[in-house]
Amino acid sequence: MSRMIDLKLPDGKVINIEKGATVLDAAQKIGPGLAKAALAGKINGHLIDLRAPVNESASLEIVTGKSPEAPEVFRHSMAHIMAEAILQLFPEAQFGIGPAIENGFYYDFLLPRALTTEDLETVEEKMKEVIAKRLPFVRREVSKEEALKMFKELNQPFKLELIEELEDQTITVYSQGKFVDLCRGPHVPDSGAVKNFKLLSIAGAYWRGDEKRPMLQRIYGTAFASKEELKEHLDRLEEAKKRDHRKLGKELDLFSTQEEVGPGLVFWHPNGARIRHTIETFWKEMHYKNGYELMYTPHIGQSWLWETSGHLDFYKESMYSPMEIDGSDYFIKPMNCPFHIMIYKSKVRSYRDLPLRWAELGTVYRYEKSGVLHGLLRVRGFTQDDAHIICTPEQIEDEIREVLRFSLSLWKAFGFSSIKAYLATRPAKAVGDENRWNQAIEALNRAVVAEGLDCEVDDGGGAFYGPKIDLKIKDAIGREWQMTTIQFDFNLPERFDMTYVGSDGNRHRPYMVHRALLGSIERFFGVLIEHYGGAMPVWLAPVQARVLPISDRQADYARLVQKQMREAGIRVELDDRSDKIGYRVRQAQLEKVPFMIILGEQECESSTVTVRLRNGDNLNQVKLEDFIREQEWKKTSA
């Protein structure tokens, strides 16, 4: 029997190697230059270590530093290099997991003492020593029994726990230097293959995310193929720190969260509340313009409602404990959907009533672990810009097209233009008629095509109750945020027995689509702050203009200017304090006020205003009415 196997390369060529030869052997056969540049391989699309044997014919691709998969390989390897450095510094360290993540890596450790940020420099120096030694990453396959014995001798209880749960009887381990890890790989050939890295931060992480398990110390780092890419990333991180919505929220007096009242609960201060009011007013105008009706529903509901919806079966751990009222259990709502359905069922609906587009800014409450709470981005109480579209099968495609178009117009109004769609299709386990699923997926796909959106398909990634489109937007510094969701639901209409009377006089099941455009007001506001760095566009700024008389001699004229601007619907303040004008201008700039109306003797005499923009530019002695007319003080839905 032949011991040779065929490997098909990306260009269509086929090479022959001996069965059991490694990916590196195949790379050397292709060419010595490729073998030298190789980091890993891909067999039938799956990443594999260079030293892994190939036992059957397959497609082969050699992964080099220029391949899309390269960052995952060298970042995972960098996590192991960091673990080696930690082992040298703390020989008694116990190791959790250390994966590659987007733009970086981390590793979890149980250490004899708490690390500080100063320790990161020490760890980095040790990592550089490991890199300089060019320690090979050695891959071994051992039996489960041997792996258990190995990690027991190493006193690594977390690894033992993971091994115990593995069904495979053959376990892959990697070692470099003195560090040994339970790992599938792949890794770079040796520690010298990765050099451009930076350790970023230390955080606490419960073992396996369980608050009842040990708290480990997680060190985050980042790594890139080149010094230039690393510098660009670090510069972006520095810019992100400056834009952090928690920092800006405090500096601009927009919002707060207060531990003594309750973690994850947001307090909107007057400046933040003014912006929120402006957002919600525009949101409501846009919804009325696009054929929606607005609704308000209760904050609590009896337990039968959540039993019928299935939340008490599948979502109870995220719901708060019930309160007893008149002998019945009531739950505070985690979602608005059941309430909208109850309004639908309050009377018999005809096909002539459909489609129904019902929207609500509904505040909901969901339990989140304290460790994941993060400013406005992860909270326990938030207001969803929720809506439900209820329609006939014949109407569904037009409704999906319309809601996607509406969503894009809303995002562009708020200053976001880089938008990508993600389409998730039917999973293996799903409820609902397959024909309805197919129609829904086709409607979603055609809507994306019609709008010319870049789209990535997650085949089988839909929820069990329906396919969906998620829209992700990019902010000013290139970060992607998942925001809009357009989600079919074939589950709740069945559970609540939603029907309409068709033209044939019979009862039919309507289509129902959940739809959140901004996601939640809180999270959207956090993204908005970071996108604009706190310097909101004029129409959203809490204070759009501040009138600054140079001295008391301009006081009367300053009050007149303020009055005229206020009558024009402008959010304007008067700062007539005795402080020097330079100090007051600087204060307004720090508060990111778009316009400073500076009034001196010349402005009083000529009945004009001098306008200082927050970027430092000036409009000298312009007519107030001209200045007012030329600015976009209010965003309209027209």
Active site residues: 337, 366, 384, 386, 388, 468, 514
* E strand or H helix that includes residue 224: strand 215-224
**DSSP structure class, residue 212:** T
What is the number of H-type helices and E-type strands within the chain? 20, 33
**DSSP structure class, residue 264:** T
How far apart (Å, rounded) are the C-alpha atoms in residues 176 and 423?
Answer: 41
* SS3 label, residue 79: helix
Shortest CA distance to 109 belongs to which of 164, 42, 181, 37?
181
How far apart (Å, rounded) are the C-alpha atoms in residues 313 and 307?
Answer: 7
How far apart (Å, rounded) are the C-alpha atoms in residues 99 and 125?
Answer: 21
How far apart (Å, rounded) are the C-alpha atoms in residues 312 and 305?
Answer: 9
Provide the token pair at 218: 């997680």
4-8 and 572-574 beta bridge pairing: unpaired
How far apart (Å, rounded) are the C-alpha atoms in residues 492 and 310?
Answer: 9
| Apex 375 CA angle, 79 and 99, nearest 5 | 15
**Residue corresponding to tokens 């739950």:** 331
Q: What are phi and psi of 148, to 5 degrees?
A: -60, -45
**485 contacts 514 by C-beta, under 8 angstroms:** yes
